[in-house]
A and B are shown apart, each in its own frame.
Chain A
Amino acid sequence: MLTGRAFKFGDNISTDQIIPGRFAHLRSNLPELAKHAMEDAAPTFVARVKPGDFIVAGSNFGLGSSREHAPLVIKMAGVKAILARSVARIFFRNAINVGLPVLLCHTDNINDGDELEVDLKAGTIRDITSGSQLTFSKIPEIMLHILDEGGLLPYLEKYGDFKL
């Protein structure tokens, strides 16, 4: 069971807002890079986010670049899962590969700052602040297995190859 606060974002939050290209020189220095997570979408995000919090977004979260650094810096900032109406394809794969859960659900009624309780196994999200309950949709089995192991490298270490 995961509990934390919601950091609410709108539709079409791009990888350029999550971790802008102008910080490309920090990509081999991940702790420094992570200080800029979400900077062009919410400049004070890193200062306010606490370990265990959630990003709650609208549609097409993470569109744009293939930079895996985008989900990586979000995870390093302490975020435990991303809840979104939809996510862009490459970002989706990257998030799972770095072990960051992406929960596809109707996020419209979750407000910024709401306390959330997420049950990954049951597939449910409880908004403690509003009292409402949501379910999130299933992701492909191979992604679930990668996520269960904590990312693609630990998955590979365990299975040695892709198992369908």
Chain B
Amino acid sequence: MGKTLAEKILSTKSGAEAKAGDIVVAKVDLVFVQDTTGPLAVRQFRAAGFEHTASSLEAILFLDHAAPSPNRELSNDHMLLRDFAYQTGGMLSDVGEGICHQIVAESLAKPGDLVIGADSHTVTAGGLGAFACGMGSTDIAVALGLGRTWLRVPESVRVSLSGRFPSGVFAKDLVLYLIGQIGADGATYKALEFSGDSAGAMSISERLTVANMAVEAGAKVGLFPADEATRDYLSSQGRGDHYQPLFPDDSADYGQIIDINLAGLEPVVARPHTVDNIALARELKGTKVNQVVIGTCTNGRLDDLAVAAKILSGKKRHVQTRLLIAPASRGVLLAAMRDGYIQTLLEAGAIILPPGCGPCLGLHQGVLASGESCLSTANRNFKGRMGNPEAFVYLGSPATAAATAITGEITDPREVL
């Protein structure tokens, strides 16, 4: 029997023949924390008696969730993480550099790596063929010290993609549709492995969007093969030497196979308060929206801002709808300025936030009022997510978000394209 992508990577990292269901101890390549999970990880690292991070791994501390800090408590947490980075030699990605998952994708993760981060959306790097999964602070602290972690090798679900996206339909619609089909716990403890010609035709940015939301179906990891698109992306980031091809074996054992024809998809939106509460965007016409957010680790990349700028070019946001843009990284912001997207978005009435998580998790920069609704390109719409349990969060693609910003109500982007 051949191996799935998950089995292949975990076999290499554990030095054992890893099969779904096995428990393995595996060597980790990249371990990171962010500013809301990092302080506890640092305290646990010290409580465990570690002084140095394992020399076999790369350790990174990201200040991105509250960036820049809105209050003294979080400023003190930032100071703690900066000090830890200086003391241990860990890499520091300070406020303004961008979201951990975006920087991991741009600069750090390699196909075949085992990446663990103290953030649930660590799965994003699966778009590059890295086995990347989120863990809590104590697991991360111990991995930082030992250079190893334990994992149950997940059963893999194969998501086989065919066809081409119709106009106005994007990777975000695909992953929202998938979660709507299988449910918010449809892949719990499992790996989602994407395959098929249409997976191969997807850009790395699209793959990152899809992998990012694997956890919203409960998955441990969302994996794409590493192929020529991966090689070209890594080369474009100046790290072509990080490439290795990685595919599942033809005879790998997939307990479940889901076929999706992209040509049959339409723009969709996740309604409050769960990500699997999916409706067609056109069916929600008339739903008033007070705030639109374009950004986050799901959809804050250059192609996302390009789509939004194209739709908003020469238009204005609706007078009762605030439009917030949070580029995923400094690199994305610089490129969006170079290409004129920031100018276009500002002229349309947008507010440009610093690179980082922005308003996604309700800390600052766009907390909703009671009774307000937001359409966001983020990955979560849980009750209270954007800082107010009496507010309502809808999720959609950057195109749906841009169209909605113009009309002030949830709008199928095909109406304005």
Contact = CB atoms under 8 A, between A and B. Distances in A.
A152 B48 CA distance: 9
Contact of A66 (B76, B135, B185): B135
A21 B184 CA distance: 20
B150 A40 contact: no
A138 to B, nearest CB: 13
Interface in A75-103: 86, 88-90, 93-94, 97-98
B55 interface: no
Given A24-B66, A60-B188, A63-B184, A89 B220 contact: yes
B73 A66 contact: no
A156 interface: yes
B189 A21 contact: no
B142 A156 contact: yes
Nearest to B189: A89
B119 interface: yes
A124 interface: no
A89 B218 CA distance: 7
A64 B119 CA distance: 10
B384 to A, nearest CB: 4
B380 A16 contact: yes
Nearest to B367: A22
A88 to B, nearest CB: 6
B256 interface: no
A93 B151 CA distance: 10
B384 A94 contact: no
Contacts of A63: 184-185, 218
Contact of A20 (B48, B70, B384): B384
Contacts, number: 145
Contacts of B142: 152-153, 156
B257 to A, nearest CB: 22
Nearest to A92: B189
User: How big is the A interface, by class?
Assistant: 35 or more
A68 interface: yes
A140 B36 contact: no
A12 interface: yes
Interface string B364-394: 0001000000000000101111011100000
A25 B71 contact: yes
Given A20-B384, A22-B384, A164 B25 contact: yes
A145 B146 CA distance: 18
A26 B149 CA distance: 28
B358 to A, nearest CB: 12
B265 interface: no
Contacts of A27: 36, 39-40, 77
B37 A94 contact: no
A153 B139 CA distance: 9
Interface in A1-50: 12, 14, 16-17, 20-22, 24-29, 40
Interface of B: 23-25, 36-37, 39-40, 44, 47-48, 65-66, 70-71, 73-74, 76-77, 80, 117-120, 122, 134-139, 142, 146, 148-150, 152, 184-185, 188-189, 215, 218, 220, 274, 361-363, 367, 380, 382-385, 387-389
16 contacts: A16-B382, A16-B384, A20-B389, A21-B36, A22-B388, A24-B74, A25-B363, A63-B218, A64-B382, A67-B136, A88-B185, A93-B135, A140-B152, A153-B142, A156-B48, A161-B146
